Chains A and B, each alone.
Chain A
Amino acid sequence: MEFSYSVRNPSVPTAYSRLEAMHTRCELLLPFLPEARARALSEKVWSMVEEADLRYSRFAPGSELSRVNRDAGGQAVVVDAELFLILQLCETFRKATSGYFDISALSRTEGRSLELDPEARTVQFSRPGVRLDLGGFAKGFVLEKAVRAVRAETGCALLSFGGSSVAAVGRHPFGEPWPVAVAHSYYPDRTAHTFPLEDAALSVSGKDPSGRGHIIDPFTGNTVEKEGLVAVTGPSAVVAEVLSTALWVAPSGRRGEILAAFEGYRACEIRCLTDGRALIQSI
């Protein structure tokens, strides 16, 4: 973890800390807290992230998720309470988004992939060949946990996991909502659109012009090939994460109904053009 504490603005002493994890850069800004408390809180948050990274990465052979991916095809696998909760949530969100959010998208789904037994706390795949990817969801989930931990200590903070998952606690130290801007895809130092965040999360999904961040359409098993970004804001980082993924994958005609099922969330599509403009369309 990298940690620094700035008193350059004496009225707003601010801690900044950073961790490279979950295949991205995780950052935390903590204004007003004394240095020792800010450092302790940062350590607490980053240990949560590191733990989640170890447990829920499909790339680490020793992770909980890898164990499920390896074994749940042939038998019911007992998982701990948190992973079981995550799988239950994911199944609920799959249904609520008409199947456009699906952690088994990698293996191309035709509906339900998981058999969950709450009594025995087991998971078993409904059909052979299922592989789960908790990538984005785990990021939203741990961000939400981190927000709770931060809120217990302070009413002013900002967290960003790679810029695609951002959460604001309270307002910016100068009294306005946190002004979080989506960078223009072709002019990275320019703003495509600004979201004022106050006790809210932002999640951005889409296709980056450098070619990364491919999202898979669960109905086709192929990466979604279209230009643009979808940004979702709302109270929960997990829900924002789920919605931005589902809305990105869903055809534009289905987006409105998916979003309408989630109260308190707003979404828009951002299309960056090479001439510097950015077209914003509410969903």
Chain B
Amino acid sequence: MSEKMTRKDFLSSLALGGAGLALFPWLAACTKERQREAAGEKARLGLIGTGSRGRFHLANLLQDPSAQVVALCDDYLPHLDEASALCPSARRYSDYRKLLEDKEVDGVIICTPLSMHAPMTIDALAAGKHVFCEKAMAHTTEQLLAMCRAWKAGDRVLMVGQQRLYDPKYVKAMELVHGGAIGEVVGIRNYWYRNNDWRREVPSPQLERRINWRLYDEFSRGLMAELACHQLQNGSWAMGGVQPSFVTGTGSIRYWKDGREVFDNVAAIYQYPNGVHMTFESIISNKHFGMGEQILGTEGTIDLVRAVMYSEAPVRRSGLRQLLDQIEQGVLSNAAFAGTSWATEEASRDAGIRFMDHVTVNDGSSSVGAAGDGSVELMHAFCLAVITGTQPAGLVEEAYWSTLLALLGDQATHLGSRVDIPAEPGW
């Protein structure tokens, strides 16, 4: 709990004028003023989709004093029953349209298969509900545009479940990147490896496609939508909001030949207008390297997953030699060598600079959610947004780009050729 508070405090303090705000404008909605404004009030929420991710959010919401889950909806009864067991007071629905008619629901949380995100979000906005939709936003680029337009036409809040948006280590890392700590950005590497079939247990064969929707094209965009979508944000942040101009890629079903339609290994390369490449690679039949996200600069490297910065040529506080050099040159200037004790063993190897404490290193193995990955903060931010009716700035735009990059990356891996990325959003 104390760590949770620290992370919330961090977001509050950052929102009070930290440089990270320029890159992460949606965090402004977490200011102390906003928290006060919302204090004592509760967002009345309806959860649509009570599968594993939905129940993960539900468990977090039950711990959040600003949340009151008043309705649950699923057309798959066993999941609905499990959610009801967690939150017995919530009304139960099997049709989301009925839930949308519930006047006591201020906001909905949509945790359904990808292909249903757009229709449900659009219907919920039309019904006057604030919406939190899981990532990726949509199954097709057409759906994506329709969602963004529907949101823009109204005055409701739309948030998308990309937890890195609220993970302080990404804010700190990007402050370092834009502060010049690693020089010029020359590459962005993302990978996500697992060794499992990505399947859920199916009680009867008729339910295969419904339960294992992630494996079928009709509902899913596979690894690009489910995994790459998160990591592709790293490029936008590191490049200061500039988007790539094209993507190329390839994919195949190499190992899990079990009737699935989505690839079990993919590789995609995005090129930015200045020639920088961002890569995404995923294999789900080897987990050795786990999850990795790295920003490569001319002077250093940032390991985003571990929150460590490495220097290409570590500046050892050379100590009094700096002063000696200055005396030799007849210069009087300060010499930055004081600090906590310089350790001799540092001379031979770069241990890196840890830029955040208490980092829970997420190995990416869970397909539900991991401790300390920003999910809790994200849900809390949605509650604040529902209570105050305030859309976190820039968030839909951010989610639009990460979904667009994932969908176009998916296209490229299927075509095996280059797919251009429009420079301007089409909405």
Chain A residues in contact with chain B, CB under 8 A?
6, 8-9, 12, 14, 16, 20, 23-25, 27-29, 31, 158, 160-166, 172-174, 176, 178-192, 194-195, 202, 204-213, 225, 227, 229, 231, 273-277
Contact = CB atoms under 8 A, between A and B. Distances in A.
Nearest to A196: B334
Given A158-B323, A189-B315, A208 B340 contact: yes
Contacts of B181: 186-187, 274, 276
Given A23-B343, A164-B341, A205-B340, 9 more contacts: A29-B324, A173-B327, A187-B179, A188-B314, A194-B334, A208-B339, A210-B351, A227-B357, A277-B19
28 contacts: A6-B327, A6-B328, A8-B328, A12-B327, A14-B327, A16-B320, A29-B323, A160-B337, A164-B342, A172-B323, A179-B332, A181-B334, A182-B336, A182-B338, A186-B355, A189-B315, A202-B338, A204-B340, A205-B340, A208-B339, A209-B354, A209-B355, A211-B354, A225-B357, A274-B173, A274-B176, A275-B19, A275-B175
Interface string B308-349: 010100110101110110011110111111111111101000
A9 B340 contact: no
A188 B20 contact: no
Contact of A204 (B315, B327, B338, B357): B338
B341 A180 contact: no
Interface string B99-133: 00000000000000000000000000000000000
A274 B355 contact: yes
Nearest to B333: A179
A181 B319 CA distance: 10
A206 B309 CA distance: 19
A165 B342 CA distance: 10
B354 A210 contact: yes
A97 to B, nearest CB: 19
Contact of A9 (B311, B329, B346, B351): B329
B372 interface: no
Per CB-CB distance, the 4 closest pairs between chain A and chain B, nearest first, are A275-B19, A179-B334, A162-B341, A183-B336
A186 B336 CA distance: 13
A179 B333 CA distance: 7
A180 B340 contact: no
B100 to A, nearest CB: 42
Interface extent on B, as a size class?
A: 35 or more
B172 interface: yes
Contacts, number: 168
A275 B179 contact: yes
B175 A27 contact: no
A212 B346 CA distance: 11
B369 interface: no
B229 to A, nearest CB: 25
Contacts of A6: 324, 327-328
A163 B337 CA distance: 6
B11 to A, nearest CB: 14
Given A16-B320, A187-B179, A181 B338 contact: yes
B241 interface: no
B344 A185 contact: no
B336 A24 contact: no
Contacts of B330: 9, 174
Given A202-B338, A229-B340, A274-B179, A27 B319 contact: yes
B416 interface: no
B6 to A, nearest CB: 10
Contacts of A158: 320, 323
B207 interface: no
B353 interface: yes
